[in-house]
Structure 1
């Protein structure tokens, strides 16, 4: 299969970006990011880092043919193997197996990290099983994966002539090693999964009733195996409450058979289809047990599950809930799932004290997905320490991997669907508020009065789901925490929202800074605040939605994008915003031609390029960017809490300061200019928020002047810092690193801004201008003349209102939208 290329490859651009990534991230981390983004062009970077100078397509052909050059870098070749194995739109298991095999043949298995070793062995079982046996003793595999491979290799349901006794002996190992009753298979059900069985050697009687809730929609006969595993529990005092989610009438007979299995079974029928969690909420109102837990209708529970999960609750009254682990298996009882270990936390295993949990947290969120993750976290936020997860070494269930599962298309190794990430980030944000006592934890279960916005209309549990979204403006950026999300971008959003526009944000991942290892990074908390309060929607490049205007705030957010096949977000107009910093990043973090091509491919519309300043316009009009808009989308001047009502200048000596990045480009080039702009005199008080390590280096590592006071970034917020200053003074290396929103923040706070004359075309009456050597005189003069100081404050505010106020910003935005 020929890999997708996405667009013409600029090798010089990819190589310079690859060189920076090589020094700032690891092959595995970058491969995970590439599979998450699902960008063929991003995969080209990894191929070139591996040494494939002719590109990924030729490398794939060489790997298939066994002709790959000996010069390939083994660490990056392992990364290519991971992309070929797990890339959703770039999967090629044969190439992955060949790449892993090539590294093993040339370098040995010592260069394999554990994740690569596990993945290689898992792929061999699926695609080259005859080669697996020789490698099992050679690869350093994790114990759970090794067990799954050895068990699957002798599975009689997947291969003829295999020993059922040998397989059965291996099947039970995780259970008996944990001190549980042996697990085997029995009966002649057509689906091997439904033959799972275990018999408890002892039982527990009359120790408190447990209600086990089993939701079902269009169930097949596998529900009998699931029900039997509950009715066979060692904990005998239970009721099985089966709730049908409005299945068609022809399922009535099957459900009646389930009801007849045991006197402890009750069947309820929901009036309308609302999804698993609406069904669970209905069951909570009918449950009779002291405790409640859940069971999916196609899974199997070990007979000790309830007993083992109840033991900690009975021993510690402070605990409210427990969860347990499960093994996951396909219907043929094979456990190898490439990219995953065989075990996982079983969300459906949640078992809690019914009365206490309902009083404290209420009901499950009325959505169709992920509420079984949200509810226990909300409960734990309301009562810290009340949720206990049992050890990984104690598997108390086997969950079934089915192709028709709601989660299968939303989860793959290293990737979650954007709606699940958004929902996770939103409920975590609200849980922080719960822990702080700012919002209540309890939700009454009303689907029409949910406390969290819907990630997407398809998540709605209401009978008539909302229609396909339509937004006035969708702002595209890399919205992860600690990425390029300056306050000015948030101010743009607030101003558009304040004007009554329907606004959404959409995420586009960038490689600046480089990807970091670990789980999916959370979304910027300021975006989550706007989302959870309902002021802002969140969309995605792949969402079926329509926008009047797509506003790309960082061009790099459209450099590496997925292939939506024309079924994602579409727009009437697209505008790519460029400021001084992003203008300089062209050819470094993005290519203008690629961004334009991706905009056309994704949204169906050619973009225009929009400057934020006169300097940015000059950069765009110098060529290479395509059509340049006649509008300038000014930085929005909106104080939003920055204004401080302090009479300035204050008594005593003048206080000057700054808060900008700790980078050499943001500071004067020489120590002489540095000490002139920020004088080391007792008659001037200098204060810095962050960014003080660079001047220390510029002064030869000597101690900073005694009249300088420095703060780390986490010691105070910008508003508090600016309230201390009379003057915001900014000088840099060559006048190129424009301070942007920092100047507007300083004006909003009431500071007089002092800048280099080079910046006068940008800031006009918003500042006073002088050379570094003149700063002391200018500051002293204005500080000594309250009238002159006040006049400059008024001039700066008037300039900001005219050039960066709501009217200027919204006029430009309306022009871009075609209004």
Structure 2
């Protein structure tokens, strides 16, 4: 009876909601629901949880709390990273959705849920709400009840669950979200939403519902092939692929294109994929085509691939199998391969270097007029080669072509591996080009993965014409193991960081070289940096011992990245073996570019790229920005780390409780779990250290600080007979300028000095008006080198918005290192000591006039500035800090 009593109590709480208070729920309905609760403890738990969530939410509107919550906005601030990312998601939903898939973070779902529900529910509460509503235990929800909900963010959360499948129940919950969005929110579905909804239903074996929605959505009108492929999966589930029903469906696809039918061999000991057989309807002849098949421990699956090539309707074939040092256990399969046909030639490599090195060996041995490739465990339709070679013969201006493929399990369950919601995809392992093209642009980049895209892009760059994908009908079946969909390097929106780094590096090289074929050719001297584990022979290799590794998002603008790069260079020059881990932050746009200086340093051997998936020993790992640790909740690593430090280089909270893009305790928890260490937190400055003390436990917080690294240089004395020049340089953001126009003019406008600005003035004019730059010299950022600008000025003065708290201030340190008299807000004295002068904006004019009229005072303050930089921000100070940390291990 405890459950029944609880059920009535919960119902009483729910009836208090405005949407149910007027419905007059009858005793019969109450009894019915009580019986449901008695029979279903899970429903009871969900409803109890919903009641708690609603009570917590509703308590904020009770009259007794009104006075307590009274503020200018009428509400207490919502504090925490989950809330702080909400407005960013609403403004940049696509970037955040991309980040969720790239990072595999589950924690980020809270922010999406808050963004979807007008800050009412985090993810678990929202999921519970949707589940209980589907049980029809909330009564009818009117659109006015949910009018503030954000449909775009809600549907994004549904898509994230379909793609991630990170926790148990994701698919079921995604279906409930889609149902709720359609029936309750009346949200507009995009094609991607519909396709993912249908995919989720199919993967839950709810094929009848899937078929009903296919009809209602009219999917067959726009995606007829996708509908047939979904039907194939339904038949595979009910009858198995080796069935007349499955063959009828798949051959229907090929008959529409006048392609040969396929069937199964009679060998029941093989998997369905290995039993596929396609007898060509007609045999064709023409130019010789070389098919290069790299293989590494292909085993019996190699014979499947070669069998499909020997069934091709194009008769003039040369098949070159390049064995990538598979070892003696696989010798028998190579001997069998060579015995299948005189068309097959086997070449053996002594060292395992990867598929692209093997392909290049095959190109050198090839005699064909056209060359294509084939993976060693895939199956190809008998008309694949003929379709592609005839297209190239008919279109000589086309640089190359590809056919389409589908990924499939060995049981012929069709699968999707990337973020595109269609089962058919371009098959990069089917690229066919004219032999002469290799002479023009060179062969494949000899990395151990990811070079298909580079070669295709290089080919298009050279020719100025895109590589064509011939139709969407799949002419290849690509063997895909189920585990690779969740733990592989490419998985429904997740792409391993080293692959993304490689993509950006070669893309920049293509942009720089233009269409010059000589420049485009790969050379023995690498043209762009390649991730360490992607070099030939280094796949899955242990990368050795690193003294220090810096982990951050190297797309951060301004000083955040330049400081880290300076530290990498200083550590490398001091003899440390240095690595970097690029982990992204959602605060950067998904298309933001990585600092070119990082690639240059990597290419020069100053730093090595490392990924969490690599194997290496690291003495000190420096997480250089907390936000990159915030979303490591669902990541794992093979790295062996002795000590981890987290550098807090931004205030953990701003005035009013905003600006919390990271929660320090969560960051520390993630780093502890991931690297199996007890992470130490080091603030960038005294200002930030003080703010951290109220958020993180004191035993985690180091008593040292981690300021920026500045290089001192020779300083020339100013000419005191001239009018002094006051200036500043900063990035373009409204918070970098004073809140009030009076404060701005007090600091920067005077007849006693000239004022110059480098950067940031677009935001200034937008914020305070065009009169702010009248009678001042303004340089756009990037039009003048910072050091050249600093040589022009005598005083460097910085005042910002009242809402902003500077953690450190790289630009400030640069001005001090240049021997300028620096004037700052008083709170920054904690960071810069006697290296600067502190005042309110109203005091700037008097300070400038007084010091300029007393050259000795100017020289004294300039010396204090450079001395402070040398003691606290110099390379020597940085190296001492690194050395002391490497010498101490905090391994539990």
Same fold (TM over 0.5): yes
For the pair shown, the structure with the greater C-alpha radius of gyration is 2
* Matches for 1:506-655 after TM superposition, within 5 Å: 506-512=581-587, 516=589, 522-541=593-612, 543-564=614-635, 568-579=638-649, 581-582=651-652, 584=654, 588-621=660-693, 624-627=696-699, 628-638=701-711, 648=718, 654-655=724-725
How far apart are 1:390 and its partner, in Å? 0.6
Distance 1:708 1:404, change over 3 A: same
Q: Secondary structure at the match of 1:637?
A: coil
1:365 alignment counterpart: 446
Is residue 462 of structure 1 aligned with residue 537 of structure 2? yes
Q: Is the 8 A contact 1:655 1:686 kept in 2?
A: yes
Q: Of the candidates 677, 684, 709, which is equivalent to residue 777 of structure 2?
A: 709
How far apart are 1:543 and its partner, in Å? 4.3
Distance 2:494 2:692 in 1: 36
2:549 alignment counterpart: 474
Q: Secondary structure at the match of 2:645?
A: strand
Is residue 402 of structure 1 aligned with residue 480 of structure 2? yes
Instruction: Give a deviation string over 1:529-548, Cα, whole Å, max 9, x none.
Output: 32333221233445444322
How far apart are 1:742 and its partner, in Å? 0.4
Distance 2:820 2:622 in 1: 31
Distance 1:436 1:99, change over 3 A: same
Is residue 13 of structure 1 aligned with residue 80 of structure 2? yes
How far apart are 1:483 and its partner, in Å? 8.7
How far apart are 1:460 and its partner, in Å? 5.4
Instruction: Give a deviation string over 1:750-799, Cα, whole Å, max 9, x none.
Output: 65534345544533454455654554566577778888766655543333
How far apart are 1:119 and its partner, in Å? 0.9
Aligned-residue Cα RMSD (Å) equals: 4.3
What is the number of equivalent residue pairs in this alignment?
A: 792
How far apart are 1:416 and its partner, in Å? 0.9
Instruction: Give a deviation string over 1:257-279, Cα, whole Å, max 9, x none.
Output: 43344433222223344332232
Distance 2:463 2:819 in 1: 43
Q: Is the 8 A contact 1:665 1:737 kept in 2?
A: no
Q: Secondary structure at the match of 2:642?
A: strand
Is residue 181 of structure 1 aligned with residue 259 of structure 2? yes
Q: Of the candidates 190, 193, 196, which is equivalent to residue 113 of structure 1?
A: 190
Distance 2:716 2:663 in 1: 46
1:34 alignment counterpart: 100
Is residue 731 of structure 1 aligned with residue 799 of structure 2? yes
Distance 2:344 2:621 in 1: 54
Q: Secondary structure at the match of 1:630?
A: strand
How far apart are 1:111 and its partner, in Å? 2.5
Q: Secondary structure at the match of 2:227?
A: helix
Distance 1:32 1:664 in 2: 27
Distance 1:62 1:672 in 2: 51
Distance 1:774 1:284, change over 3 A: same
Distance 1:692 1:48, change over 3 A: closer
Instruction: Give a deviation string over 1:422-480, Cα, whole Å, max 9, x none.
Output: 332333344445449899544467xxx866666354x5543997425432222232333
Compute the TM-score of the two structures, normalised by the length of structure 1. 0.83
Q: Of the candidates 278, 285, 289, which is equivalent to residue 197 of structure 1?
A: 278
Instruction: Give a deviation string over 1:293-331, Cα, whole Å, max 9, x none.
Output: 201133344555445545676678776544444343444
Q: Is the 8 A contact 1:508 1:561 kept in 2?
A: no
Q: Is the 8 A contact 1:43 1:56 kept in 2?
A: yes
How far apart are 1:169 and its partner, in Å? 6.0
* Matches for 1:350-389 after TM superposition, within 5 Å: 350-358=431-439, 360-367=441-448, 369-378=449-458, 383=462, 385=464, 388-389=466-467
Distance 2:777 2:552 in 1: 35
Q: Is the 8 A contact 1:211 1:241 kept in 2?
A: yes
How far apart are 1:520 and its partner, in Å? 6.8
1:742 alignment counterpart: 811
Distance 1:144 1:474, change over 3 A: farther
Distance 1:438 1:573, change over 3 A: farther
Instruction: Give a deviation string over 1:508-554, Cα, whole Å, max 9, x none.
Output: 444435xx5xx675543333332333221233445444322222222
Distance 1:197 1:809 in 2: 67
Distance 1:436 1:725, change over 3 A: farther
Is residue 219 of structure 1 aligned with residue 298 of structure 2? yes
Q: Of the candidates 243, 258, 280, which is equivalent to residue 337 of structure 2?
A: 258
Q: Which moved more, 1:39-48 or 1:196-205?
A: 196-205
Distance 2:167 2:322 in 1: 40
Distance 1:406 1:650, change over 3 A: farther
Q: Which moved more, 1:792-801 or 1:488-497?
A: 792-801
Q: Is the 8 A contact 1:292 1:353 kept in 2?
A: yes
1:6 alignment counterpart: none
Q: Secondary structure at the match of 2:430?
A: strand
Q: Is the 8 A contact 2:683 2:689 kept in 1?
A: yes
How far apart are 1:118 and its partner, in Å? 0.5
Q: Is the 8 A contact 1:554 1:578 kept in 2?
A: yes
Is residue 238 of structure 1 aligned with residue 317 of structure 2? yes
Unaligned runs of 5+ in 1: 4-8
Q: Secondary structure at the match of 1:600?
A: helix
Is residue 763 of structure 1 aligned with residue 832 of structure 2? yes
Instruction: Give a deviation string over 1:187-244, Cα, whole Å, max 9, x none.
Output: 4354444425363657352x4x332101223335554553354445565443111223
Instruction: Give a deviation string over 1:716-736, Cα, whole Å, max 9, x none.
Output: 554454455444332224584
Distance 2:800 2:440 in 1: 58
Unaligned runs of 5+ in 2: 1-41, 47-55, 57-76
Q: Of the candidates 804, 812, 819, which is equivalent to residue 881 of structure 2?
A: 812
Q: Is the 8 A contact 1:481 1:525 kept in 2?
A: no
Q: Of the candidates 418, 426, 438, which is equivalent to residue 505 of structure 2?
A: 426
Q: Is the 8 A contact 1:558 1:598 kept in 2?
A: yes
Distance 2:558 2:792 in 1: 28
Q: Is the 8 A contact 2:219 2:227 kept in 1?
A: no
Distance 1:614 1:476, change over 3 A: same
Compute the TM-score of the two structures, normalised by the length of structure 2. 0.77
Distance 1:795 1:290, change over 3 A: farther
Is residue 799 of structure 1 aligned with residue 852 of structure 2? no
Q: Which moved more, 1:89-98 or 1:183-192?
A: 183-192
2:424 alignment counterpart: 343
Distance 1:657 1:34 in 2: 41
Q: Which has the higher helix share?
A: 2
How far apart are 1:651 and its partner, in Å? 9.6
Q: Is the 8 A contact 1:274 1:461 kept in 2?
A: yes
Distance 2:317 2:771 in 1: 72
Q: Secondary structure at the match of 1:403?
A: coil
Q: Of the candidates 570, 574, 580, which is equivalent to residue 499 of structure 1?
A: 574
Q: Secondary structure at the match of 2:667?
A: helix
How far apart are 1:740 and its partner, in Å? 0.8
Distance 1:749 1:351, change over 3 A: farther
Q: Secondary structure at the match of 1:581?
A: coil
Q: Is the 8 A contact 1:174 1:393 kept in 2?
A: no
Q: Is the 8 A contact 2:652 2:692 kept in 1?
A: no
Distance 1:126 1:576, change over 3 A: closer
Q: Is the 8 A contact 2:263 2:278 kept in 1?
A: yes
Q: Secondary structure at the match of 1:112?
A: coil
Q: Is the 8 A contact 1:122 1:336 kept in 2?
A: no
Q: Is the 8 A contact 1:125 1:149 kept in 2?
A: no
